[in-house]
Amino acid sequence: MKISSAKRDFGLSETTFWHAVSNGGPPKRPGAPNVLTSHEENQLVGYCINMQKLVFGLTKWGVNYCVMEIMKLNKQSHLFEEDGPGQDWWERFMRDHPELSFCVPQNLLEARAQKVNKTIVDDHFKKLKQIINENSLAVAQIWNMNETGFVIVPKLEKVIAKKGTCQVHKIAYGNSHDHISVAPTISVAGSYIPPLIIYKGIRTIPGLLDRTLPETVMSFTSTGSHISYTIVDFCRNNEILLYALPPHTTHVLQPSEIPFAKLKKEYSKACEKYSNENDDMIVTKRTFAKVFGFTFLETYTPQAIYPSLVTERFDISPLSSQSSIQQAMPSLLAQKPTNSKHFHSTCSNVNQLIEENMKLKNENALLKSQISVANEELNTSKILEHPSYIRSDLPSPRKKRKTFPFSQLLTSEESWCQLEEVNREVECKADKAKQKKEIAAQKKAEQELRLVQKNEKRAQKTLGKQKDH
């Protein structure tokens, strides 16, 4: 192509054209030089994304370690320090791959990661659908209760202080870690009933429920069990279907979890407002219900309860089940229940990991057919391997379960028979413990009686000897 034709076809000015020709090509890309090939970078990006899905997300140090290992394996020279790539390389890497970003992870317990799997979630939605259809339940008849904890002194926010001050304090009432449990109850229709406020203690504090929500119920409890024989018996007598969600799955399947974050945030603001309006009076256990009541009324509105996020977790359609399973990416598949008691082992199944590895293998095969990849470059697959979590299938001694592994209708005949059996065992243990105490008290009384008789005999002998003298 002639110079004049190129300038005319591409709309270039004389200065721009000759500047490009004199520099010998396109301008250099800003940022640190690319030490990895495009294939290696794509592998690294895919590895980061898959590790994040498997809840083993890589930190900046972890990515630097992978880069240095790849370069060491390829025997490639570099200008990096021992810690790996610097800020310039990272700015260029993140700019070239906008699908990546730095996020602060949330802690996920191992039990939660294992329990939210396809088997348990599908079982939950199947049972929920069956209960709703068999009893012809309307949305206003489906309620969900959940419990969360509040500390009297909420999380402190930043305050204005003199610059250079080493320590800044804020007055707190008593033990700042005092815990109060609150159990809100919402319905699919978007309504709610007054929440239960559970205080620790036996004696009632005067003024504890002043200016709280109408018809607020205060409950004192001494048991840590969520499945109580008394509660299930009450529900059966009052035609209430008590349905228990699978354990360790509330972060995905529990609708009441959704408004909690906003509720606690608004409670912190309400505490600050209460102190300002009442001459810097701090929130105590006596005034907690008053402050919490204002917060609850402002937070639990129909607009906040009814959104699709809440109705999704009550939905019985297959789409809802699949969306819940999508959040359960790191979960290990559990074996299906073999009997009515749903006894199962959580032996791992690495099908999810195999699928991810197959995708990467297919991508590598496609790239091999299009471009020639060096042998050293192929060895990066040894570094970017996915972790596999394999449990031993060796039989272990069967232990009695403390919780139900699957969701369960507690008011059903099968569950009721199990609870009655458990209740009989508890009563039997209590009777045996009572008998042991009675026997121990009787033995102690007999020992004390023998000791008294022995002392009386000694006293009589001593008195007789004194008379003889």
Q: With a threshold of 0.75, does the pTM exceed it?
A: no
Number of residues assigned to the chain: 469
Residue 351 has pLDDT above 60, yes or no: no
Residue 433 has pLDDT above 90, yes or no: yes
- Looking at residue 242, its amino acid is L
pLDDT attached to residue 317: 42
pLDDT band of residue 442 (cuts 50, 70, 90) is very high
352 by Cβ neighbours in 10 Å (0-12 / 13-18 / 19+) ranks as: buried
pLDDT attached to residue 36: 83
Instruction: Give me the mean pLDDT over the 357-365 stretch.
Output: 65
Instruction: Give me the mean pLDDT over the 21-33 stretch.
Output: 58
Round to whole Å and give the CA distance between 144 and 254.
8
pLDDT attached to residue 375: 45
Q: Which of 200, 196, 225 is nearest to 212 (CA)?
A: 196
pLDDT attached to residue 327: 55
Q: Which of 422, 421, 400 is nearest to 225 (CA)?
A: 422
Round to whole Å and give the CA distance between 390 and 93.
34
Give the pair of three-digit tokens for residue 371. Answer: 């471009």
Instruction: Give me the mean pLDDT over the 157-176 stretch.
Output: 77
Instruction: Give me the mean pLDDT over the 336-352 stretch.
Output: 40
- Looking at residue 335, its amino acid is Q
Residue 377 has pLDDT above 80, yes or no: no
Round to whole Å and give the CA distance between 385 and 331.
19
pLDDT attached to residue 218: 37
pLDDT attached to residue 224: 40
- Looking at residue 302, its amino acid is P
Question: Which is more confidently placed, 95 or 10?
Answer: 95
Using alpha carbons, list the distances in angstroms from residue 171 to 149, 161, 258, 272, 342.
Answer: 21, 15, 31, 12, 52
Q: What is the 3-state secondary structure (H, E, C) of the chain?
A: CCHHHHHHHHCCCHHHHHHHHHHCCCCCCCCCCCCCCHHHHHHHHHHHHHHHHCCCCCCHHHHHHHHHHHHHHCCCCCCCECCECCHHHHHHHHHHCCCCCCCCCCCCCHHHHHHCCHHHHHHHHHHHHHHHHHHCCCHHHCEEECCEEEECCCCCCCCCCCCCCCCCCCCCCCCCCCEEEEEEEEECCCCEEEEEEECCCCCCCCCCCCCCCCCCCEECCCCCCCCCHHHHHHHHHCCCCCEECCCCCHHHHCHHHCCHHHHHHHHHHHHHHHHHHCCCCCCCCCCHHHHHHHHHHHHCCHHHHCCHHHHHHHCCCHHHHHHHHHCCCCCCCCCCCCCCCCCCCCCCCCHHHHHHHHHHHHHHHHHHHHCCCCHHHHCHHHHCCCCCCCCCCCCCCCCCCCCCCCCEECCCHHHHHHHHHHHHHHHHHHHHHHHHHHHHHHHHHHHHHHHHHHHHHHHHHHHHHHHHC
Instruction: Give me the mean pLDDT over the 268-281 stretch.
Output: 81
Average pLDDT, the chain: 74
Token pair 């970078």 in the structure block, residue: 41
Bridge-partner residues for 197, per DSSP? Answer: 182, 218
pLDDT attached to residue 157: 76
Round to whole Å and give the CA distance between 261 and 259.
6
Q: Which of 51, 66, 47 is nearest to 105 (CA)?
A: 51
- Looking at residue 94, its amino acid is M
Residue 432 has pLDDT above 90, yes or no: yes
What are 223-261's pLDDT values in tens digits?
A: 345 677 888 888 888 888 888 888 777 777 777 777 787
pLDDT attached to residue 402: 55
pLDDT attached to residue 347: 36
pLDDT band of residue 26 (cuts 50, 70, 90) is low
Residue 372 has pLDDT above 70, yes or no: no
In the chain, the percentage of residues whose pLDDT exceeds 90 is: 8
Contacts of 275 (CB under 8 A, 6+ apart): 281, 282, 283
285 by Cβ neighbours in 10 Å (0-12 / 13-18 / 19+) ranks as: middle
Residue 129 has pLDDT above 80, yes or no: yes
pLDDT attached to residue 221: 37
Residue 439 has pLDDT above 90, yes or no: yes
In the chain, the percentage of residues whose pLDDT exceeds 70 is: 67
pLDDT band of residue 368 (cuts 50, 70, 90) is low
Residue 396 has pLDDT above 60, yes or no: no
Give the pair of three-digit tokens for residue 49. Answer: 């994304």
Q: Of the given ranges (8-12, 291-295, 327-331), which has the lowest mean pLDDT?
A: 327-331
pLDDT band of residue 136 (cuts 50, 70, 90) is confident
Question: Which is more confidently placed, 273 or 313?
Answer: 273
pLDDT attached to residue 52: 85
Contacts of 120 (CB under 8 A, 6+ apart): 246, 249, 334, 405, 406, 407
pLDDT band of residue 344 (cuts 50, 70, 90) is very low
Residue 224 backbone dihedrals phi, psi, to 5 degrees: -95, 5
Using alpha carbons, list the distances in angstroms from residue 240 to 143, 237, 243, 314.
Answer: 10, 8, 9, 18
Q: What is the 3-state secondary structure (H, E, C) of 135-175?
A: HCCCHHHCEEECCEEEECCCCCCCCCCCCCCCCCCCCCCCC
What are 284-304's pLDDT values in tens digits?
A: 888 888 888 888 888 887 777
What are 82-126's pLDDT values in tens digits?
A: 888 888 889 999 999 999 999 988 887 777 777 777 788 888 888
What are 29-69's pLDDT values in tens digits?
A: 555 556 788 888 888 998 998 888 878 889 999 999 988 88
Q: Which of 409, 417, 150 is nearest to 289 (CA)?
A: 150
